[in-house]
Amino acid sequence: NEGSLWGGRFAGGPADALAALSKSTDFDWRLARYDIAGSRAHARVLHDAGLLDDVELTGMLAALDRLEDDVVSGAYVASEADEDVHGSLERGLIERAGPELGGKLRAGRSRNDQIATLGRMFLRDHARVIAARLVETIDALVAQAEAHPYAPMPGRTHLQHAQPVLLSHHLLAHAWSMARDVERFVDWDRRAAVSPYGSGALAGSSLGLDPNAVATELGFDSAAWNSIDGTAARDVFAEFAWVSAMVGVDLSRISEEIIFWATKEAGFVTLDDAYSTGSSIMPQKKNPDVAELARGKSGRLIGNLTGLLATLKGLPLAYNRDLQEDKEPVFDAADTLELLLPAVSGMIATLTFNTEKMAALAPQGFALATDIAEWLVRQGVPFREAHELSGEAVKLAESRGGELWDLTDEDYAAISPALTPEVRTVLSTEGSLNSRSAQGGTAPVAVAAQLSELRSRLEPL
Ligand code: ARG
């Protein structure tokens, strides 16, 4: 069992099938630099505790530096026989520092506290990258909103025409949910900024090592307060997977809209050539593949979360080897979002809106019926009655194959004397939009206010 991290009590080495099953270097090798950073911090606390002398510390750090250079250059890679990144790097350290010195570093730490710590370091770095990419997506939405401050579109509920809204208002609705996703990553980081290093296998270390010194060196706010929790908990991983899945769902929802907007039937947007694809057989095709891949990849992001939760469910404390399965789902979540977000941002930034068509459709489908009812309320009519009267106007217009503005003053008067010709002041998209001016409404003044609020939220992120 040469080169293994254990073996003293074993008569022989593992079966080939076990070795193959056990092996994680294919996916955990990307933690190598975090592992080496952890080793440096650990060497220093061993030194502080008097377990490495000055010469040994210097030699250890120099060997770790050489190992890191070789890992970065690719001169050192995991061998076929290495089980995981930790074991492989110990082998690499021993090759460089010799068995006497290299064999000292493992004191007081376990792969259990190492892997829990390195995973957090990896995810914290990637959460920052993903949050930055998300802010770029929000910026693309904000830029489109600013480019179309007064453009109306049909606002829909149940996918049916509901009330006119501003395109900018609609785009910013997506921006708000994405801004909350950014805040979620920031908030998540407070819980992720706790270092399990020093928890050992599960019970802590008897060697007088300072876990907070390691935590500080590795960029954490503090060390774990419970070594069992430190090694066994993966809620921080699951929460990362959840926030990532939520981002996926948010990207999927706007993507679904863009796919619909780009249809011949809707004709609301034209996709830029750089963000659409053709067909191998149909020469005319221009397909919204970015949006479709975003919609599709939300499925794998949700799968990463549910798979991880299923792995965690029913696991007794403390470490169990099942936890080796924690990495691929969160690594994939990070990779997926880092790949997807720039494409989605580019697609949004380069959309061309057919504002004329959107504006023409905005009031159609009796989308101003609520405006009639609310106008009646302002004249003192109870809403229950106002709703009925406006509904009758819809019925009459529909029976004639027209819209609400096609009815004559006499038609309105016949429905109710309360429906005086002044009702026409609200029978326009502009009137409808402008009237919804309270905070959160779709009036241009309210949208301008929300834009500055959104910007001030984004500033510190
Ligand atoms: N490679 C393992 C993981 O990814 C860490 C090793 C812990 N193994 C063990 N036998 N205690 O979780």
Using most ligand atoms within 8 A of CB, pick from 84, 88, 199 the residue to mutate for ligand 1: 84
pLDDT in tens, 359-416: 999 999 999 999 999 999 999 999 999 999 999 999 999 999 999 999 999 999 999 9
**Taking the mean position of all CA atoms in its chain, how far away is CA 366?**
38
Of all atoms in ligand 1, which is nearest to the CA of residue 112?
7
Q: What is the pLDDT of residues 90-112, one digit of tens each?
A: 999 999 999 999 999 999 999 99
Domains of the chain: 16-107 (1.10.275.10), 112-208+227-360 (1.20.200.10), 365-458 (1.10.40.30)
The atom of ligand 1 lying closest to the CA of 114 is: 5
Q: Where are the alpha helices (DSSP H) in 23-104?
A: 25-28, 32-48, 54-73, 85-102
Calpha distance 80→389 (Å, rounded): 79
Tokens matching residue 316: 């007794």
Stretches where the chain sits below pLDDT 70 are 1-3
Q: How far is CA 228 from CA 39, 197, 321, in A?
A: 21, 11, 15
Closest residue by Cα to atom 2, ligand 1, is 324
* Calpha distance 100→52 (Å, rounded): 12
Distance 422 CA to ligand 1 centre (A): 76
Closest CA to 395 of 419, 417, 371, 411: 411
| pTM for the whole structure | 0.95
Q: Which atom of ligand 1 is nearest to the CA of 28?
A: 4
Q: What lines the ligand 1 site, CB under 6 Å?
A: 24, 28, 84, 111-112, 115, 319, 321, 323-324
User: Which two three-digit tokens encode residue 89?
Assistant: 């790097």
Instruction: Check residue 282 and give its pLDDT.
Output: 86
